[in-house]
Structure 1
C-alpha cells in the first residue's frame, strides 16, 4: 500500500487518509489508496511539484521558491493555487523571459541556483538576485552578443553600425538598438513569424542562414536539399509533392 510522504498519503482518521499532494480524502482501504496513487491526477500533481520547486522527504513538504514548509492543513494543489506562489512564479518568468537564464534545476529542487547561459555563471535564485543580474551591464552585453548571430545581425567595417541581413538595414551598434530591432521592428519580427510558421513540422533548418552572412539557403533535412531562404521558395518547397512524400 502506497502511504507516507513519498506518495503524499498520510493518516487522517480511523476510516480515511488524506493525500497532501492532491488535497483530497480517501477511504482507508488498500484498493482505494492504490487507485488514487496510480491515478492520472495524482501523477500530474507530482509532476507539478517537480516543475514548481516543491520537494518532500520523510518529514515534510517544502516549497523552495516561497521558502515555505507545509503545515498539516496544506496540500500541493492549494499551495500552487495560492497567490504567493503564483505571483512568485509569474515574476520569475517575467524576469528571465528572453534572458537565456535556466531555472529547471532550481524548480526541480536539484539546486538553489539558476544558471545564466550567456554569462556562464550561477545565480542564487531569488527574485532580487535574478533582477540584479538581468539588469547588469555585463549581462546586457552578453545577451546582445548572443542575439546577433541568431537574428542575422552582422558587424560591418564601420564599428558604429551593424547590418541586419533579414531587413537589409543598418542599425546602431548599441545594446538598445539591437534589442529594439530584434523585439520591435515590424519587418524583422514579421520575417521570423512567417518563416517559422512555414517550417514548423517540416524539419527545415534556418540556423546556418541566420549565422552566416553570405549563406542564402535553408536546409530541408527530410529531402536533404537546400532551399532559398525566403517565404516564396520555402512555401513552394513545403507544398511540393516530393517533400510531402517524405512524410507519408
Structure 2
C-alpha cells in the first residue's frame, strides 16, 4: 500500500479511503484508488475545483470563495451547487463581466487576487474591492480606450469627439458618452448583432474594418479575400457556392 495518497484522497478506515473531491468511499487497494483517480468523474471534479476556488490542503477541502472548510460529507459538486457558493460565484462573474478582469488564477487557487488586464493591476478578490475598482474613473477610462478600436471608434480632428464608422456619427469623447453609445445605441448594437450572426463559424473577420478608420472591408480567411463590410455583402459571400465549398458543403 502506498504511504502517500493521491490528491483529494484521505484515509477512512482499515479497508477504505475517501475521495473528498467526489464524496465517495473507495476500497483501500492501490488498483481501486488508481482506477478512481483515472476516472472521468474524478477528473471532472478536479477541474471543477480549479474553476471554483476549491483546493485540497492538509487533508481537508478549502473553499477560498466561501472562506470555509468543507465537511468530509460534502462533495465538490454538492458545495458548488449550494446557495452560498453559487450566489457568490454569480455575483463575482456579474461584477467582472465586460471589465477585462481575469478570475482564473484566483479560482485555480494560484493567487489571492484577480487581475485587471486594462489597468495591469491585481485586486484582492472581494466583491467590495472589485466593485470599487470597476467604478474607479481610471478603470472606466481604460475600458473606454480598450473598447474604441473594437467598436469602430476613431478620434475626430477636433480632439473632443470620436467618429463611429459603424453608425457614421460623431460622439463626445468622454467615458460616459462612449460607453453609452456602445452599450445603449440601438443602431450600433443592431449592426454588431446582425454582422456577428452572419460571420459566426464562417471564419470571417471584421477586425480590419473596425480597427482601421479607412478600411472598408472584412476579410474571409477561408477564401482569402476581402468583403465589403456590410450585412448584404457578407451575407452574399457566406452563402456563396465558393465559400461553402471551402467547408466541404
| TM-fit CA distance, 1:60 | 2.8
Cα distance in 2 between the residues matched to 1:194 and 1:5: 54
| TM-fit CA distance, 1:26 | 3.6
Identify unmatched segments of 5+ residues in structure 2: none
1:71 aligned residue: 71
Q: 1:2 to 1:211 in 2, by over 3 A?
A: farther
The answer on whether the counterparts of 1:61 and 1:70 sit within 8 Å (CA) in structure 2 is yes
2:230 aligned residue: 230
| TM-fit CA distance, 1:27 | 4.5
Cα distance in 1 between the residues matched to 2:92 and 2:39: 31
2:221 aligned residue: 221
Give the secondary structure class of the aligned counterpart of 2:226: strand
2:52 aligned residue: 52
| TM-fit CA distance, 1:15 | 4.9
Matched, 1:24 2:20: no
1:163 aligned residue: 163
Deviates more, 1:194-203 or 1:7-16: 7-16
2:93 aligned residue: 93
1:81 aligned residue: 81
| TM-fit CA distance, 1:85 | 1.5
Cα distance in 1 between the residues matched to 2:187 and 2:152: 13
Cα distance in 1 between the residues matched to 2:121 and 2:27: 49
1:102 aligned residue: 102
Deviates more, 1:24-33 or 1:134-143: 24-33
Cα distance in 2 between the residues matched to 1:219 and 1:166: 17
Identify unmatched segments of 5+ residues in structure 1: none
TM-superposition CA deviations, 1:13-58 (whole Å, max 9, x none) = 4554332111233455555444432222221111000111112235
Q: 1:188 to 1:136 in 2, by over 3 A?
A: same
Cα distance in 2 between the residues matched to 1:2 and 1:76: 25
The answer on whether the counterparts of 1:54 and 1:61 sit within 8 Å (CA) in structure 2 is yes
Q: CA RMSD in A?
A: 2.1
Cα distance in 1 between the residues matched to 2:219 and 2:2: 51
Cα distance in 1 between the residues matched to 2:184 and 2:5: 49
How many aligned positions are there?
248
The answer on whether the counterparts of 2:95 and 2:130 sit within 8 Å (CA) in structure 1 is yes
Cα distance in 2 between the residues matched to 1:72 and 1:97: 34
1:117 aligned residue: 117
Cα distance in 2 between the residues matched to 1:72 and 1:41: 18
Q: 1:5 to 1:210 in 2, by over 3 A?
A: farther
The answer on whether the counterparts of 1:51 and 1:104 sit within 8 Å (CA) in structure 2 is yes
Cα distance in 2 between the residues matched to 1:84 and 1:222: 47
Cα distance in 1 between the residues matched to 2:181 and 2:3: 56
